[in-house]
Amino acid sequence: MLGRYTTGPESRADDSSEGRHGCPAPSCALCSPTMTRIDLRSDTVTHPSPEMRRAMAEAELGDDVFGDDPTVNRLDERAAELTGKEAACFVASGTMGNLTSLMAQVPRGGEIIAGEGAHSFAHEAANFAVVVGASMRLLPWDENGRMDLDRIRRAFRDPNDLHEPPTSLVMLENTHADSMAQPLPVGYMDAVAAVAHDGGVPLHVDGARIFNASLALSTPVSQLLAGADSASFCLMAPNSAIGRPNALRSLA
Ligand SMILES: Cc1ncc(COP(=O)(O)O)c(C=O)c1O
């Protein structure tokens, strides 16, 4: 990342006649006033492409409460198809996608097993506690972003001990953000799903970047999510440097 933070094809460096490190602009590639700079602080700073803006502006509209919005209906149907799930519901953010999934599956006082630093734990304003009324049991993960299967098994609470919060859900993140976005392969996803289901609880996948995992692993999203009971994902900005705007999300 060079100099000031800028994004997108319209972003330009300062229009100074002299380069930043003293060379005569625009002969230096680093100092050229027309050089596009890429903001690598986060993929959340990306913007929709002109095509995406046009598609949004021209989208057919209807009353979503009556199920009359053809665009939202098509989006939900496509999301369900891609994820291989019964149904999908468009929501306005990834945080809302995760929260609605937890609300649908975790009872008040329940406990969620998740990886240390999971987005839902560390970056969603503790909504699992405030809104869902649940606790989280956090497990370490390895350099591939994976929690050990035995550790997950051992993290389940004793259902016969009424002092303990009932284990209610296992959560995975794919790609796994804190390990520099390692993609979790289908074998591991299925194995975690089996552990969750053996313990009688659902698996939720925070798939904010599941399409990146799918590309990296050459595995369809529906296959990666085959064992998941719910998943959230985000929609990508195809022309951005890394991949996505921070505004369009869907929940399957
Ligand atoms: C792994 C992961 N899950 C969930 C979210 C939440 O998305 P949002 O910022 O749209 O609420 C993010 C945001 O970057 C994320 O990286």
Q: pLDDT per position in the chain (252 positions), as tens?
A: 232 333 344 444 444 445 455 565 556 666 666 677 778 887 778 788 899 899 999 999 999 999 999 999 999 999 999 999 999 999 989 999 999 999 999 999 999 999 999 999 999 999 999 999 999 999 999 999 999 999 999 999 999 999 999 999 999 999 999 999 999 999 999 999 999 999 999 999 999 999 999 999 999 999 999 999 999 998 865 433 333 333 344 444
Confirm or reject: Cβ of 127 under 6 Å from ligand 1: no
| Residue numbers of the domain that contains 157 | 79-251
24 and 90, same structural domain? no
111 and 9, same structural domain? no
Tell me, what's the pLDDT at 58? 97
Give the other-Cβ count within 10 Å of 122's Cβ. Answer: 15
Residue 49, domain member (yes or no): no
Confirm or reject: Cβ of 249 under 6 Å from ligand 1: yes
Residue type, position 137, single letter: R
83 and 37, same structural domain? no
29 and 139, same structural domain? no
Q: What ligand 1 atom has the least distance to the C-alpha of 177?
A: 1
Residue 230, domain member (yes or no): yes
Q: Are 136 and 144 in contact (CB under 8 A)?
A: no
84 and 12, same structural domain? no
| Token reading at 147 | 């929690």
Give the DSSP letter of residue 130: I
Confirm or reject: Cβ of 114 under 6 Å from ligand 1: no
Residue 50, domain member (yes or no): no
Residue type, position 106, single letter: V
Give the other-Cβ count within 10 Å of 146's Cβ. Answer: 20
Tell me, what's the pLDDT at 13? 41
Q: What's the pTM value of the predicted model, to 2 decimals?
A: 0.83
Q: Count of domains in the chain?
A: 2
Tell me, what's the pLDDT at 236? 64
Tell me, what's the pLDDT at 49? 86
85 and 36, same structural domain? no
C-alpha distances out from residue 213 to 44, 53, 194, 240, Å: 17, 26, 20, 17
Tell me, what's the pLDDT at 27? 61
Give the DSSP letter of residue 250: E
